[in-house]
Protein backbone atom coordinates (compact mmCIF):
# COMPACT_ATOMS: atom_id res chain seq x y z
CA UNK A 1 0.00 0.00 0.00
CA UNK A 2 2.86 2.40 -0.70
CA UNK A 3 0.86 4.30 -3.35
CA UNK A 4 -2.15 5.15 -1.17
CA UNK A 5 -2.17 8.49 0.63
CA UNK A 6 -2.32 8.29 4.41
CA UNK A 7 -5.10 10.37 5.87
CA UNK A 8 -5.38 11.70 9.39
CA UNK A 9 -8.69 12.13 11.19
CA UNK A 10 -10.16 15.58 10.44
CA UNK A 11 -9.86 18.10 13.25
CA UNK A 12 -10.86 21.73 13.31
CA UNK A 13 -7.21 22.82 13.15
CA UNK A 14 -6.56 20.66 10.10
CA UNK A 15 -9.70 21.95 8.43
CA UNK A 16 -8.66 25.56 9.12
CA UNK A 17 -5.24 24.87 7.59
CA UNK A 18 -6.88 23.26 4.57
CA UNK A 19 -9.25 26.19 4.17
CA UNK A 20 -6.42 28.72 4.41
CA UNK A 21 -4.34 26.76 1.93
CA UNK A 22 -7.28 26.71 -0.51
CA UNK A 23 -8.04 30.41 0.02
CA UNK A 24 -4.40 31.33 -0.66
CA UNK A 25 -4.79 29.94 -4.15
CA UNK A 26 -8.42 30.62 -5.05
CA UNK A 27 -11.11 33.19 -4.38
CA UNK A 28 -14.33 31.42 -3.51
CA UNK A 29 -17.77 31.67 -1.99
CA UNK A 30 -18.76 30.30 1.42
CA UNK A 31 -20.82 27.50 -0.14
CA UNK A 32 -17.96 26.43 -2.40
CA UNK A 33 -15.49 26.45 0.52
CA UNK A 34 -17.93 24.21 2.39
CA UNK A 35 -18.00 21.80 -0.58
CA UNK A 36 -14.19 21.72 -0.72
CA UNK A 37 -13.93 20.94 2.98
CA UNK A 38 -16.69 18.31 2.75
CA UNK A 39 -14.78 16.55 -0.05
CA UNK A 40 -11.62 16.59 2.05
CA UNK A 41 -13.44 15.16 5.06
CA UNK A 42 -15.17 12.57 2.86
CA UNK A 43 -11.84 11.28 1.52
CA UNK A 44 -10.35 11.04 5.00
CA UNK A 45 -13.44 9.32 6.39
CA UNK A 46 -13.55 6.79 3.58
CA UNK A 47 -9.90 5.97 4.12
CA UNK A 48 -10.21 5.69 7.91
CA UNK A 49 -13.73 4.13 8.03
CA UNK A 50 -15.21 7.10 9.89
CA UNK A 51 -18.63 8.70 9.58
CA UNK A 52 -18.49 12.00 7.60
CA UNK A 53 -21.67 13.35 9.20
CA UNK A 54 -19.83 13.66 12.52
CA UNK A 55 -17.66 16.43 11.08
CA UNK A 56 -20.33 18.72 9.64
CA UNK A 57 -20.32 20.96 12.75
CA UNK A 58 -16.56 21.44 12.41
CA UNK A 59 -16.90 22.31 8.74
CA UNK A 60 -19.63 24.85 9.54
CA UNK A 61 -17.44 26.39 12.25
CA UNK A 62 -14.46 26.72 9.93
CA UNK A 63 -16.55 28.30 7.14
CA UNK A 64 -18.14 30.68 9.64
CA UNK A 65 -14.69 31.72 10.94
CA UNK A 66 -13.53 32.41 7.40
CA UNK A 67 -16.63 34.52 6.73
CA UNK A 68 -16.29 36.45 10.01
CA UNK A 69 -12.61 37.23 9.42
CA UNK A 70 -13.37 38.45 5.92
CA UNK A 71 -11.42 35.76 4.08
CA UNK A 72 -14.62 34.71 2.33
CA UNK A 73 -17.09 37.32 1.09
CA UNK A 74 -19.72 36.22 -1.42
CA UNK A 75 -20.46 39.74 -2.67
CA UNK A 76 -16.79 40.55 -3.34
CA UNK A 77 -16.31 37.17 -4.98
CA UNK A 78 -19.34 37.75 -7.23
CA UNK A 79 -18.10 41.23 -8.18
CA UNK A 80 -14.61 40.05 -9.14
CA UNK A 81 -15.93 37.00 -11.00
CA UNK A 82 -18.42 39.18 -12.90
CA UNK A 83 -15.74 41.69 -13.86
CA UNK A 84 -13.43 38.93 -15.08
CA UNK A 85 -16.11 37.21 -17.11
CA UNK A 86 -17.24 40.51 -18.65
CA UNK A 87 -13.66 41.29 -19.72
CA UNK A 88 -13.59 37.95 -21.54
CA UNK A 89 -17.01 38.44 -23.15
CA UNK A 90 -19.25 36.60 -20.70
CA UNK A 91 -23.00 37.04 -21.03
CA UNK A 92 -25.34 37.77 -18.15
CA UNK A 93 -26.72 34.24 -18.37
CA UNK A 94 -23.26 32.72 -18.21
CA UNK A 95 -22.32 34.86 -15.23
CA UNK A 96 -25.52 33.92 -13.40
CA UNK A 97 -24.94 30.22 -14.07
CA UNK A 98 -21.32 30.24 -12.94
CA UNK A 99 -22.03 32.18 -9.76
CA UNK A 100 -24.99 29.94 -8.92
CA UNK A 101 -22.81 26.87 -9.47
CA UNK A 102 -20.36 28.25 -6.91
CA UNK A 103 -23.13 28.69 -4.36
CA UNK A 104 -23.71 32.44 -4.50
CA UNK A 105 -27.34 33.23 -3.62
CA UNK A 106 -29.68 34.78 -6.20
CA UNK A 107 -30.11 38.11 -4.43
CA UNK A 108 -26.36 38.69 -4.36
CA UNK A 109 -26.10 37.75 -8.03
CA UNK A 110 -28.92 40.14 -8.98
CA UNK A 111 -27.38 42.94 -6.91
CA UNK A 112 -23.97 42.53 -8.53
CA UNK A 113 -25.41 42.32 -12.04
CA UNK A 114 -27.51 45.43 -11.42
CA UNK A 115 -24.35 47.33 -10.49
CA UNK A 116 -22.46 46.03 -13.54
CA UNK A 117 -21.79 48.85 -16.01
CA UNK A 118 -21.12 46.64 -19.04
CA UNK A 119 -23.95 45.59 -21.31
CA UNK A 120 -24.51 42.23 -22.92
CA UNK A 121 -23.94 43.83 -26.33
CA UNK A 122 -20.44 45.00 -25.32
CA UNK A 123 -19.68 41.55 -23.96
CA UNK A 124 -20.94 39.95 -27.18
CA UNK A 125 -18.56 42.16 -29.20
CA UNK A 126 -15.67 41.14 -26.98
CA UNK A 127 -16.65 37.48 -27.36
CA UNK A 128 -16.92 37.82 -31.16
CA UNK A 129 -13.54 39.56 -31.35
CA UNK A 130 -11.88 36.87 -29.24
CA UNK A 131 -13.41 34.05 -31.30
CA UNK A 132 -13.05 35.93 -34.62
CA UNK A 133 -16.74 35.76 -35.43
CA UNK A 134 -18.73 37.92 -37.83
CA UNK A 135 -17.03 41.24 -38.60
CA UNK A 136 -13.83 40.10 -36.86
CA UNK A 137 -13.41 37.12 -39.17
CA UNK A 138 -10.12 37.09 -41.06
CA UNK A 139 -11.37 35.01 -43.99
CA UNK A 140 -13.56 36.61 -46.67
CA UNK A 141 -16.30 33.93 -46.32
CA UNK A 142 -18.18 35.89 -43.68
CA UNK A 143 -21.64 35.29 -45.18
CA UNK A 144 -21.07 31.53 -45.44
CA UNK A 145 -20.33 31.29 -41.70
CA UNK A 146 -23.09 33.66 -40.51
CA UNK A 147 -25.40 30.96 -39.10
CA UNK A 148 -22.57 29.22 -37.28
CA UNK A 149 -21.38 32.52 -35.81
CA UNK A 150 -24.89 33.31 -34.61
CA UNK A 151 -25.15 29.87 -33.04
CA UNK A 152 -21.82 30.33 -31.26
CA UNK A 153 -23.00 33.58 -29.70
CA UNK A 154 -26.34 32.08 -28.71
CA UNK A 155 -24.60 29.10 -27.08
CA UNK A 156 -22.50 31.57 -25.13
CA UNK A 157 -25.71 32.90 -23.57
CA UNK A 158 -26.46 35.96 -25.68
CA UNK A 159 -29.94 36.61 -27.05
CA UNK A 160 -30.60 36.16 -30.76
CA UNK A 161 -31.17 39.91 -31.24
CA UNK A 162 -27.81 40.82 -29.71
CA UNK A 163 -26.07 38.04 -31.65
CA UNK A 164 -27.60 39.24 -34.91
CA UNK A 165 -26.66 42.84 -34.21
CA UNK A 166 -23.02 41.91 -33.51
CA UNK A 167 -22.60 39.42 -36.38
CA UNK A 168 -24.27 41.66 -38.98
CA UNK A 169 -22.50 44.79 -37.74
CA UNK A 170 -19.08 46.09 -38.65
CA UNK A 171 -15.83 46.14 -36.69
CA UNK A 172 -16.22 49.86 -36.03
CA UNK A 173 -19.59 49.42 -34.25
Per-residue pLDDT tens listing for the chain (173 residues) = 456 678 889 999 999 999 999 999 999 999 999 999 999 999 999 999 999 999 999 999 999 999 999 999 999 999 999 999 999 999 999 999 999 999 999 999 999 999 999 999 999 999 999 999 999 988 778 888 999 999 999 999 999 999 999 999 887 76
- Which of 69, 89, 107 is the last residue in one of the domains? 69
DSSP state, residue 172: T
Residue from 164, 141, 168, 139 nearest 151 by CA: 164
- Same structural domain, 54 and 96: no
- Same structural domain, 125 and 105: no
- Same structural domain, 17 and 63: yes
Confirm whether 50 is domain-assigned: yes
Confirm whether 155 is domain-assigned: yes
Confirm whether 42 is domain-assigned: yes
- Same structural domain, 64 and 20: yes
* Residues shown for the chain: 173
3-state secondary structure of 88: coil
Euclidean distance between CA atoms 170 and 85, whole angstroms: 23
Confirm whether 4 is domain-assigned: no
- Same structural domain, 53 and 17: yes
* Sequence-ordered list of residues with C-beta below 8 angstroms from that of 90, at least 6 positions apart, any chain: 98, 123, 127, 156, 157
- Which of 34, 53, 69 is the last residue in one of the domains? 69
CA distances 158 to 80, 117, 134, Å, are: 21, 17, 15
What are phi and psi for residue 85, nearest 5 degrees? -70, -35
Confirm whether 30 is domain-assigned: yes
Confirm whether 87 is domain-assigned: yes
Count of domains for the chain: 3
Confirm whether 7 is domain-assigned: no
Q: How much is the pTM? A: 0.86
Burial 147-172 (b: 16+ CB within 10 A, else e): eebbebbeebbbbeebbbbbbeeeee
Confirm whether 126 is domain-assigned: yes
Parent domain of 159 = 120-168
Amino acid sequence: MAGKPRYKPPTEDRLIKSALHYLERYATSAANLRKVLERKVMKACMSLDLEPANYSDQIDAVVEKCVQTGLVNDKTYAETKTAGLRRRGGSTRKIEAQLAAKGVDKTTIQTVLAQDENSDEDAARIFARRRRLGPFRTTPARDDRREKDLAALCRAGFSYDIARKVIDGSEDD
